[in-house]
Amino acid sequence: MIDPAAIISQDAKIADDVTIGPGSVIGANVEIGEGTWIGPHVVINGPTKIGKDNRIYQFASIGEDPQDKKFHGESESRLEIGDRNTIREFCTFNRGTEDGGGITSMADDNWVMAYVHVAHDCVIGNNTIFANNASLAGHVEVGDFAILGGYTLVHQFCRIGMHTITRFSTGTSKDIPPYLVAAWDPAKAKGINKEGLKRREFSSSTIESLRQAYKVIYKKNLTVVEACKQLEGMVEECPEISNMLEFIQSSERGIIR
């Protein structure tokens, strides 16, 4: 399953049924789980752990040093990728830094299109989609089921909430709360991700409640503190609103408005 033209470190741990294409380079301290397919001319450096049934296409650079001038080869620097992720051509995933806890991580069932960059210390959840050329700076968090449109740019330390979607060429230096549509640069809130929520089988009543919560945050000219007080009274009727409330209350960079 490993092409003879691949270069594999003797210190790499590779499951028996992993496929590795010609010209790929697998470095020391790399672990690759069962059923994973590595295309030709992929470079994977460690410490990196890749789970089961992933597909990594040609010319991707996975687990390279952080692009951080403060990094000086610390051993705590790691990349962890879960199961059933697709990573397309020319993607770059960097390992973590000591300042960020040492780990860059991606969970399960994510779909990452060509030329995507995931910088050091990013934390990516499950079932996300990154369209072509989306780029995350360091220390970014992306929640489950988020979709980043092509050429989306996310500033360091920002958070992207669960079930959000960004449109083409969105740029943000603020947090984007859950369930929103965001567009433009700088990013502005453009409503609730209604179609995405319908596809994930949210009920019509839940979607309507989230739309009302959106109006509280963005349409009533309230301060963030005032909006949160109103959201607190809506959580009992719609528990999903608690995700918005907790996200906003814990935001350090502030949310898009």
Question: Residue 138 class from Cβ within 10 Å (0-12 exposed, 13-18 middle, 19+ buried)?
Answer: buried
List the catalytic residue out of 138, 149, 150, 161. Answer: 138
- What is the rounded CA–CA span in Å between residue 86 and residue 108? 10
Catalytic-residue membership of 109: no
Catalytic, 121? Answer yes
Residue that the structure tokens 């907790």 belong to: 246
Catalytic residue among 33, 39, 117, 121: 121
Distant-in-sequence, close-in-space partners of 177: CB < 8 Å, separation ≥ 6: 161, 164, 189, 217, 244, 247, 248, 255, 256
- End-to-end, the C-alpha distance of the chain in Å comes to 51
Residues 120, 139, 155, 163: which is the catalytic one? 120
Query: Is 68 assigned a catalytic role?
Result: no
Q: Give the C-alpha separation, 96 to 120, whole Å.
A: 4
Residues annotated as part of the active site: 120-121, 138
